[in-house]
Chain A
Amino acid sequence: KIINSTHPLFQNIQIMSGWGNSNLDLSKPLDGRFSWFNHHDFGGKTYQPQQPSTRTTDPIVTGTSVLAIRYKNGVAIATDTLLSYGSLARFRDIRRIHPLNPNVIVGASGEYSDYQFITRFLDDLVTDNDIADNNYQPMDAKEIYSYLGRVMYGRRNKQDPLWNTIVIAGYKDNKSFLGSVDYLGTHFQDNTVATGYGDYIARPLLRNGFREDLTKEEAVKLLEGSLRVLFYRDARASNRIQVATIGEDGVNVSEPYELSTDWSIGTVTFAYDGRKEPVPVRSANNNDVSA
């Protein structure tokens, strides 16, 4: 018998007998040599040794908050244009807002590759609907929102999520729509919506400013103000932002622009290292050094 041979030629030999298998090392995870089951039966999603992982376990290239608010005759949605690679601010001029059709805009935070996949299949869905037959009925925001909810929940159940929180904004027949779907499949509609840090920091600001008869300009101002606060407080945010509106006057997606910031508060804060005097701060807006 070759059971306990240490010769390299015999390392992977498995001795099978009617009473079970030998060479069973229980101090390590079993690697599939000692029992057979058809991985295919489980959709190939079972642990397969020496195979690369084929599901998202951790987001790698990520976008931060998306903010959105309903106003009188439409919805405004805004993001910054930054993608982070962990703590590195890697891509500084990208788009996280995507107009789907004259009725719907979507924006997303989280893993950017999953966002690209989502916009791809949503575009396909919209195209298929548009070319289907002569009775053209563009999809509206409620349908996209419901569809995304089912897709995200289905992926979560397969333990293979699309790692995003998606904001869906729409306007049809004088009614505005605003909803959010996340990678668990959690979905809801509200007057204000924000993802990531925005949900904690910006949403209270948006809620305070929200009124049913908000104008478009006021809504955009609220979003800008909130994104500025996020730039101050969220370590993965940037001040280069993009705002999109969908409403009576159709879909308008702005070009990116930079928000002004004011760091003069630095002149009155003290370091937490027991210093008795403020550290001179160079203000971002001018080159003066103020004490």
Chain B
Amino acid sequence: MLRSDYDSDITIWSHQGRIHQIEYAMEAVKQGSASVGIKSKTHVVVAGLKRASADTLGAYPQKVFRIDDHMGIGVSGLNADARVLTKYLRNECLNHKFVFDSPMPISKLVLQLADKSQIHTQKYGRRPYGVGLLVAGVDDNGTHLFETSPSGNYFDYKAQAIGARSQSARTYLEKKLDSFGDSSRDELIKHALLALRETVQSSSDGINQKNCSICVVGLGENFQILEGESLAPYLVGIEKEQEPTTNTMEE
């Protein structure tokens, strides 16, 4: 990206009608490790590729978070910002449950988060959040998958991938899009893992129990995270199915 004279402040427009600081914040999301989300008529799955700072020495930072029984998120970007937003989302959900005796509608929470993010693009002295979320949840209107971005925009998706090399995952998702709606829970998880595998560099070990995190939520099924041992059957399942197709293609 070219530096310009108009990118040092969030409150400065460029002469092309852009605010570069916001775009640079979105760049932070693109540099984070990949997250993939897919929804069917009954379930929503988000898969995250965990990136450890010191592979064998340390633990992998968390990629997917539970917000409430009916909602969770996958993150890409600055982990610290992700942590802070997770706390905010959990608090809002809990307050809503206490006041209204009902689980919070997904779109209402996402809208609140988007409005909060937008404030950080319009106030002097505040920087945008450097994290994109894939929000997965179910409510009275069915299954939902939203993407939020540092810009304050939010989008409703059937399937989406964000983070490093996510274009490869998106290519896979586009190919299989028509099959997602009626997929079963397990099929959906396998699709998410296969899409995630597309984002892994050919030089590494691919996806395994340690660097992968899946979360599922569905109509009548509470949010849960699958990690480590519980991922084994699904990983074995996709090994048999197909070879990764685009591991040499970068964006």
Question: Would you call B144 an interface residue if the criterion is a C-beta within 8 Å of the partner chain's C-beta atoms?
Answer: yes
Contacts of A147 in B (CB 8 A): 99-100
Q: Are B100 and A134 in contact (CB under 8 A)?
A: no
Q: How far is the CA of A140 from the CA of B139 in the complex (A)?
A: 14
Size of interface on A: residues with Cβ below 8 Å to B: 15
Q: Which A residue's beta carbon lies closest to that of B110?
A: A133
Contacts of A150 in B (CB 8 A): 98-99
Q: Which B residue's beta carbon lies closest to that of A139?
A: B100
Smallest distance from the beta carbon of B12 to chain A beta carbons, Å?
30
Q: How far is the CA of A146 from the CA of B100 in the complex (A)?
A: 5
0/1 string, A138-182, CB within 8 A of B gives 1: 011011011100100000000000000000000000000000000
Q: How far is the CA of A137 from the CA of B141 in the complex (A)?
A: 7
Q: Which A residue's beta carbon lies closest to that of B102?
A: A143
Smallest distance from the beta carbon of B7 to chain A beta carbons, Å?
32
- Which of A129, A134, A137, A142 makes the CB contact (< 8 A) with B101? A142
Question: Would you call A26 an interface residue if the criterion is a C-beta within 8 Å of the partner chain's C-beta atoms?
Answer: no
Contacts of B156 in A (CB 8 A): 134
Q: How far is the CA of A145 from the CA of B98 in the complex (A)?
A: 12
Question: Would you call A132 an interface residue if the criterion is a C-beta within 8 Å of the partner chain's C-beta atoms?
Answer: yes
Q: How far is the CA of A220 from the CA of B233 in the complex (A)?
A: 60
Interface size classification for chain B: 10 to 19
- Which of B98, B101, B106 makes the CB contact (< 8 A) with A135? B106
B56-105 residues with Cβ-Cβ distance < 8 A to A are 98-102, 105
Q: Which of B98, B105, B111, B141 has the most CB of A within 10 A?
A: B105
Q: Which of A133, A146, A147 has the most CB of B within 10 A?
A: A133
Q: How far is the CA of A137 from the CA of B100 in the complex (A)?
A: 14
Q: How far is the CA of A143 from the CA of B98 in the complex (A)?
A: 10
Q: How far is the CA of A134 from the CA of B106 in the complex (A)?
A: 11
Question: Would you call B140 an interface residue if the criterion is a C-beta within 8 Å of the partner chain's C-beta atoms?
Answer: yes
Contacts of A142 in B (CB 8 A): 100-102
A146 in contact with B111 given A135-B106, A137-B105, A137-B140 (CB within 8 Å): no
A132 in contact with B102 given A137-B139, A137-B140, A137-B141 (CB within 8 Å): no
B106-135 residues with Cβ-Cβ distance < 8 A to A are 106-108, 110-111
Contacts of B140 in A (CB 8 A): 137
Q: Which B residue's beta carbon lies closest to that of A172?
A: B140
Smallest distance from the beta carbon of A106 to chain B beta carbons, Å?
15
Contacts of A145 in B (CB 8 A): 101
Smallest distance from the beta carbon of B104 to chain A beta carbons, Å?
11
Q: Are A143 and B141 in contact (CB under 8 A)?
A: no
- Which of B101, B102, B111 makes the CB contact (< 8 A) with A133? B111
Q: Are B105 and A135 in contact (CB under 8 A)?
A: yes
Q: How far is the CA of A36 from the CA of B123 in the complex (A)?
A: 39
- Which of A132, A143, A146 makes the CB contact (< 8 A) with B107? A132
Q: How far is the CA of A133 from the CA of B105 in the complex (A)?
A: 11
Contacts of B107 in A (CB 8 A): 132-135
Q: How far is the CA of A140 from the CA of B140 in the complex (A)?
A: 11
Q: Are B101 and A143 in contact (CB under 8 A)?
A: yes
Q: Which B residue's beta carbon lies closest to that of A128?
A: B108
Q: How far is the CA of A253 from the CA of B98 in the complex (A)?
A: 31
Smallest distance from the beta carbon of B41 to chain A beta carbons, Å?
16
Contacts of B108 in A (CB 8 A): 129, 132-133, 135
Q: How far is the CA of A204 from the CA of B108 in the complex (A)?
A: 43
Smallest distance from the beta carbon of A156 to chain B beta carbons, Å?
16
Q: How far is the CA of A146 from the CA of B95 in the complex (A)?
A: 12
Q: How far is the CA of A136 from the CA of B156 in the complex (A)?
A: 14
Contacts of A146 in B (CB 8 A): 99-102
Q: How far is the CA of A145 from the CA of B101 in the complex (A)?
A: 9
Contacts of B99 in A (CB 8 A): 146-147, 150
Q: How far is the CA of A136 from the CA of B141 in the complex (A)?
A: 8
Q: How far is the CA of A137 from the CA of B101 in the complex (A)?
A: 15
Q: Which B residue's beta carbon lies closest to that of A135?
A: B107
Contacts of A137 in B (CB 8 A): 105, 139-141
A184-243 residues with Cβ-Cβ distance < 8 A to B are none
Q: How far is the CA of A143 from the CA of B103 in the complex (A)?
A: 10
Q: How far is the CA of A150 from the CA of B102 in the complex (A)?
A: 14
Q: Which B residue's beta carbon lies closest to that of A138?
A: B140
Q: Which A residue's beta carbon lies closest to that of B97?
A: A146
Residues of A within 8 A of B (CB): 129, 132-137, 139-140, 142-143, 145-147, 150
Q: What are 13 A-B pairs with beta-carbon distances under 8 A?
A: A132-B108, A133-B107, A133-B110, A133-B111, A134-B107, A135-B108, A137-B105, A142-B100, A142-B101, A145-B101, A146-B102, A147-B99, A150-B98
Given contacts A129-B108, A135-B107, A143-B101, 18 further A-B contacts (CB under 8 A): A132-B108, A133-B107, A133-B110, A133-B111, A134-B107, A134-B156, A135-B108, A136-B141, A137-B105, A137-B139, A139-B100, A140-B102, A143-B100, A143-B102, A146-B99, A146-B100, A146-B101, A146-B102
